[in-house]
Amino acid sequence: MRYAAAARPRCAGCTTAYPDLALSYEKARYWYTPESLRGGLRASWLGGVAEVVTKGTGEVERIADRAQLWVTFAVTATERAEAVRLLGKRIERVEPLLTQDGVEVRSRRVSVHPYWSGDKGEQAGVHAEQQYQLRAADQASLETLVAALIGQEPTALNGPDWELSDQAEAAREAQVLAVADARRRAEGYAEALGVRLGTLLRISDGDDQHYAPMARAAGFAMEADRLPSVQSLNLEPQAVVVSARCTTSWSLLD
């Protein structure tokens, strides 16, 4: 709950020139006493209106309908040009897999750099890799994509991160719940003070949070004799929680 009090007069003459200001100060001192909380005015006064400020949170759960993957292909060689050439040959087999229906390439990132070994920090060779961020439109597309990528033996495969393609409906429902939560809190304070809750004076939006429990596999090197089957990966859509927060101000009535 927020409290506000009138400013104290800066000089003795103010009490004569501005009697209302002096009276407001005396009222403000009264409002801060424990006795005032048991009777009379019981909350802050802004512009002559007593108010209480509360925060509310609402959460809505939905089943995700699309997923993101991160996949890396990497090679090493003694020379930079050779590393780039070997990486290019691997990527030539990967790119056609990403044109299937329901698959979207969100980003491509290429990295080429030397790597070092030994106590003297001597250059041992050159490491080249290409990273993809991919999006699958549904579970069927995801399973087909994962199977195809595993067949190319990526250096690392991470995901999926599940998400909602359209969060608008869930976000609106979460906002309704957040406002209801803020009102319940305000009603509790009003009851504790022995007054009635009035109308809503102001409302501001908090930081929305959209998050989901992730079924993300850890990055790992895939050897040919240890390829996991797609069926054993349990790539079913996961629950996504959409939340909303708000801050509200309510008037208090005697």
Buried b / exposed e over 217-248, threshold 16 CB at 10 Å, is: beeeebeeeeeeebeebebebbebebbbbbeb
Q: How far apart are CA 73 and CA 144, in angstroms?
A: 18
Question: What is residue 99's predicted lDDT score, i.e. its pLDDT?
Answer: 95
Where does the pLDDT of residue 47 fall: very low under 50, low under 70, confident under 90, or very high at 90 and above?
low
The DSSP string of 76-137 is EESSHHHHHHHHHHHHHHHGGGGGSTTEEEEEEEEEEEEEEETTTTEEEEEEEEEEEEEEES
Of 21-30, 167-176, 189-198, 241-250, the least confident: 21-30
Name the residue among 215, 244, 217, 236 with its Cα closest to residue 228. Answer: 217
CA angle in degrees (0–180, nearest 5) for 173-179-181? 100
Of 20-24, 102-106, 169-173, 233-237, the least confident: 20-24
Of 47-51, 72-76, 140-144, 183-187, the least confident: 47-51
Question: What is residue 105's predicted lDDT score, i.e. its pLDDT?
Answer: 97
The DSSP string of 45-69 is EETTEEEEEEEEEEEEEEE--EEEE
CA 157 to chain centre: 24
pLDDT above 80: residue 58: yes
Where does the pLDDT of residue 211 fall: very low under 50, low under 70, confident under 90, or very high at 90 and above?
low
Tokens of 158: 């991470």
Mean predicted confidence (pLDDT) in 67-90: 96
Mean predicted confidence (pLDDT) in 63-72: 95
Q: Which residue has the higher pLDDT, 57 or 42?
A: 57
Name the percent of the chain lying above pLDDT 90. 63
Question: What is residue 123's predicted lDDT score, i.e. its pLDDT?
Answer: 87
Q: How far apart are CA 97 and CA 10, in angstroms?
A: 77
Where does the pLDDT of residue 192 fall: very low under 50, low under 70, confident under 90, or very high at 90 and above?
very high
Where does the pLDDT of residue 97 fall: very low under 50, low under 70, confident under 90, or very high at 90 and above?
very high
Q: How far apart are CA 107 and CA 94, in angstroms?
A: 14
Q: What does DSSP assign to residue 217?
A: B
pLDDT above 70: residue 4: no
Q: How far apart are CA 175 and CA 167, in angstroms?
A: 12
Question: What is residue 119's predicted lDDT score, i.e. its pLDDT?
Answer: 73
Mean predicted confidence (pLDDT) in 147-158: 94
> What is the per-residue pLDDT across 101-126, written as a single tens digit (0 to 9) for each?
999 999 999 999 998 887 777 888 99
Q: What's the mean pLDDT when you consider all of the chain?
A: 80
Name the percent of the chain lying above pLDDT 70. 71
